[in-house]
Amino acid sequence: MRPVYVVSGGVSKFTKARHDKTFQAVVKEAFEYAVADLNIDTTKFLELVDGSVASYFSDHFQRQLMSGIMAQDYLGLCPKPSHRVEGGGATGGLAFQEGWKSIASGHMDVCAVYGFETMSHVETWKGNEFIALASDVSFDFPVGGFYSGYYAMMVVRHMQEFGTTVEQMAHVSVKNHRNAYHNPYAQKRQKLTIEDVRNSTMVAWPLTRLDICVMSDGAAAVILASEEGVKRLEKAAGRTLPKIKVTGIGRGTDAMRMSDRPHKKVPLLSFEKESDYKNLKYPGIHSFRAGRSAAIQAYKHAGIKNPIAELDFVELHDAYTSSEIQTYEDLGLCRYGQGGELAVSGKTFMPGVDYGLKLKEKPICPVNPSGGLIACGHPVGATGLMQAVFALWQLQNTIGKHFKDPALQIKNAKKGLIHSHAGTGTYVTVSILEA
């Protein structure tokens, strides 16, 4: 397989409703930002790009089938090859990896991956119903389909198994909202306290409104290239482009129905021993086996042995504060059962940001420096690509330029991980990016 580089990216401002534009025009904002950042004229870029991947989750939020081709034609990419990717909340991560495949396989030298979701076209509770249709409509949805309820049951079991607390979860909310204070693309930029999170409206016990991400309208785009493709773009741009390489790719799956999840042994990462988990039945509903599977593959691919020490940052799928904690463990940032402690340790916070919290340890590996889904919003098809764009900017050392605020730039960031996750952990992707 050929090396694949991420050369550019763009994100629309995530917001509750973009009634000012149709989805194609919002995609164009992200796409044009990425092209402009290469310093290449749009018309010229349309000659240089070989094809695209379209990333969007839902057809019924817009009541529009084939939205992908409508974005493709609006961008001026016809008749070049393209296809739509869909895998629930992991749609963006899957699309990123499909773009990677197109380049790695030699099928394309320059590939644009664009993603979007337009969730404002229905009222919030109808939107929750649409999302809950991503659960078995024979056995699960009719019982009271509600994703926040599903994740609540998962974290209740995590609390039961490992002693995780709601205060530990609230730390994630404070961290991510506070990080987003410096991210102009984020939907919610707030300074919160642990009490704010706990006193917020209860949605599904024990998750409050501030433990849960919000629905958004938004788009994101990344441009991937081979060695040949980078040369082609550099010639047009008249400058050398910083090379950020995709060094690891992993994916995993698990059963749609949470009730079907097995209770077996933990697939181990290199620093774990079977004896660490003598009494643990895995994954049950407390952990995401798909995330562990994705991490094992991506770390093997990228040669990572000790993730928390080797990664400079992680952008992970925190649709819920609880799933950030559960994902720490799947990704091996700590052992299973230690996610709650890691969340309050300070290790996953940003250096130089005042959270108003007493944190025992110094940051080692900031998680969701951008603010994550909790604060940025979660326009599903755009989300995984938003993570790729923010990771790219970290590794290019250009956060200050793009955010107009350098606070969230991690110094000397060389290696980052992006993690995309679909409903209750059904599809999960992990990709490693290196400067």
Interface pick for other proteins out of 43, 63, 274, 360 (rule CB under 8 A) = 63
109 vs 217, which CB is nearer to other proteins?
217
Say if CB 230 and CB 48 are below 8 A apart.
no
282 vs 313, which CB is nearer to other proteins?
282
Over the window 9 to 38, marking each residue x when it contacts other proteins by CB under 8 A and - when it does not, the resulting string is ----------xxx-----------------
4 vs 207, which CB is nearer to other proteins?
207
Stretch that binds other proteins, among 196-204, 302-310, 354-362, 398-406 (CB under 8 A): 196-204
Is residue 83 at the binding interface for other proteins, with CB under 8 A as the rule?
no
Interface pick for other proteins out of 30, 40, 119, 132 (rule CB under 8 A) = 132
Cα torsion 268, 274, 277, 279: sign = positive
Interface pick for other proteins out of 79, 144, 358, 404 (rule CB under 8 A) = 144
164 vs 348, which CB is nearer to other proteins?
164
Give residues 210-269 in contact with other proteins (rule: CB under 8 A): 255, 257-263
Work out the angle between the directed axes of helices 321-330 and 289-302 (0-180°, nearest 10).
50
Q: Write the single-letter amino acid at 206.
A: P
Distance of closest approach, residue 180 Cβ to other proteins, in angstroms: 23
Interface pick for other proteins out of 152, 170, 374, 433 (rule CB under 8 A) = 152
Is residue 139 at the binding interface for other proteins, with CB under 8 A as the rule?
yes
42 vs 160, which CB is nearer to other proteins?
160
Is residue 279 at the binding interface for other proteins, with CB under 8 A as the rule?
no
383 vs 4, 100, 218, 259, 275, CA distance in Å?
A: 21, 17, 8, 27, 37
Side-chain-side CA neighbours of residue 337 (13 Å): 13
Say if CB 421 and CB 89 are below 8 A apart.
yes
Over the window 287 to 326, marking each residue x when it contacts other proteins by CB under 8 A and - when it does not, the resulting string is ----------------------------------------
Interface pick for other proteins out of 156, 222, 413, 422 (rule CB under 8 A) = 156
Interface pick for other proteins out of 90, 104, 111, 159 (rule CB under 8 A) = 159
Interface pick for other proteins out of 100, 146, 185, 427 (rule CB under 8 A) = 146
Size of interface with other proteins, in residues (CB under 8 A): 45
Interface pick for other proteins out of 49, 95, 113, 154 (rule CB under 8 A) = 154
Distance of closest approach, residue 136 Cβ to other proteins, in angstroms: 8
Distance of closest approach, residue 205 Cβ to other proteins, in angstroms: 4
Q: Any bridge partners for residue 6, and if so which?
A: 224, 244
Stretch that binds other proteins, among 36-44, 92-100, 131-139, 187-195 (CB under 8 A): 131-139
Interface contacts to other proteins, rule CB under 8 A:
19-21, 63, 123, 125-126, 128-129, 132, 137-146, 148-149, 152-154, 156-157, 159-160, 201-207, 255, 257-263, 285
